[in-house]
Amino acid sequence: MNPSGGLFWHWHAWRHQAQWTDTCADIAVWLREMPAAKAKSDELVILGASAGWMMPSSWLQGFARVTTFDLDRWAAPLFRRRHGAALRASGTALQCHTGDALTQLDTVLQAHPHALVLLDNVLGQLRFHTPSVDEASARIAQITNRLHGRRWGSVHDAFSGRTLRRPGAALPAMQRSLQPARVPSGKTAARAVALGRFSRQLQAQGDWLDHLTDQVFPAGTPVHHIAWPYSPGYCHWLQAGWIAP
Ligand SMILES: C[S@@+](CC[C@H](N)C(=O)[O-])C[C@H]1O[C@@H](n2cnc3c(N)ncnc32)[C@H](O)[C@@H]1O
């Protein structure tokens, strides 16, 4: 069973589209801030694309080629179903692959040497795909190291947990910060302060799950903080950033 995708995810995303409108609008704002390409015709590679439930077709239409990867066999047909017509209309070539793009990351990067790479809500899921949190953290570090020198971005879970927020209540507005410098302990004081502030705004209840993504971005990266009302009584805090070499 796929712990972060598959039919349950598709059903859940389809069913909650209306509740996720504000989150998707925040993500769209961030997506448009991607680093510009030097070449005119540009290619996008999406890792963990699923059906692209949370991205607008209009953003994808700005690329000459879009290539997606996901472990989930339902992802490719559903991505084509959601975005295919718009991409045909803009003349954007679409290729959807089923497979483990993270284990095969070197091969994927070599096959698409000039593409902008988007890790689309996948890094924060890795703790569910590995037996230990240490292994998950090491895997995330390996992946981001391999992307060194590339134009890439990631939107991922930072924390998630129960909330007293009423369904339909206004979400905290998207916030922006700069990724703080790393400290030897691996955790940053700034992150603890940010968690306190954001989780209060989301009316967090109890302990929230740490998705082990605090070291994804290099120090100084502009980071967007986005609230995601995943289901009634449960919220995620997403972080999103772009890196240019
Ligand atoms: C939360 S979902 C992503 C949601 C998606 N970005 C969207 O907007 O619909 C995480 C996805 O990452 C995929 N995934 C997890 N590990 C992967 C890997 N190693 N290679 C490719 N896809 C992976 C899962 O199958 C799942 O579809």
Q: From atom 13 of ligand 1, which residue's Cα is the shortest distance away?
A: 48
pTM given for the model: 0.94
Q: What is the pLDDT of residues 213-236, one digit of tens each?
A: 999 999 999 999 999 999 999 999
Q: What does pLDDT average to over the chain?
A: 91
Q: What is the DSSP letter of 204?
A: B
Which residue type does 11 have? W
- Has residue 186 got a pLDDT over 60? no
* CA distances in angstroms from 239 to 11, 26, 203, 220, 224, listed in the order given: 24, 11, 18, 14, 6
- Has residue 41 got a pLDDT over 60? no
Q: Candidates 50, 57, 102, 104: which one to mutate for ligand 1, based on the most atoms within 8 Å of Cβ?
A: 50
Sign for the pseudo-dihedral over CA of 57, 59, 61, 65: negative
Cα 18 to middle of ligand 1, angstroms = 21
* 129 pocket-lining for ligand 1 (C-beta < 6 Å): yes
- Reported as a pLDDT band with limits 50, 70 and 90, residue 148 is very high
* CA distances in angstroms from 55 to 12, 61, 64, 76, 207, listed in the order given: 16, 11, 17, 15, 29
- Has residue 95 got a pLDDT over 90? yes
Residue 37: Cβ within 10 Å count: 17
- Reported as a pLDDT band with limits 50, 70 and 90, residue 199 is confident
Q: Candidates 20, 44, 70, 78: which one to mutate for ligand 1, based on the most atoms within 8 Å of Cβ?
A: 70
pLDDT computed for residue 192 by the predictor: 66
Q: What is the pLDDT of residues 157-182, one digit of tens each?
A: 999 999 988 888 888 899 999 998 87
pLDDT computed for residue 184 by the predictor: 60
Which residues 6+ apart lie within 8 Å of 163 measured at CB?
202, 203, 204, 205, 233, 234, 235
Q: What is the pLDDT of residues 56-66, one digit of tens each?
A: 999 999 999 99
The better pLDDT of the pair 5, 187 is held by 5
Domains of the chain, each with CATH number or no CATH:
7-243 (3.40.50)
Ranges of beta strands (E only) in the chain are 43-47, 65-70, 93-98, 116-120, 152-162, 175-178, 209-210, 222-231, 234-243
- Has residue 52 got a pLDDT over 60? yes
Cα 74 to middle of ligand 1, angstroms = 11
- Reported as a pLDDT band with limits 50, 70 and 90, residue 136 is very high
pLDDT computed for residue 86 by the predictor: 98
pLDDT computed for residue 228 by the predictor: 95
Please tell me the distance from the alpha carbon of residue 10 to that of residue 218, in angstroms, as a whole number.
32
Section 126-154 average pLDDT: 93
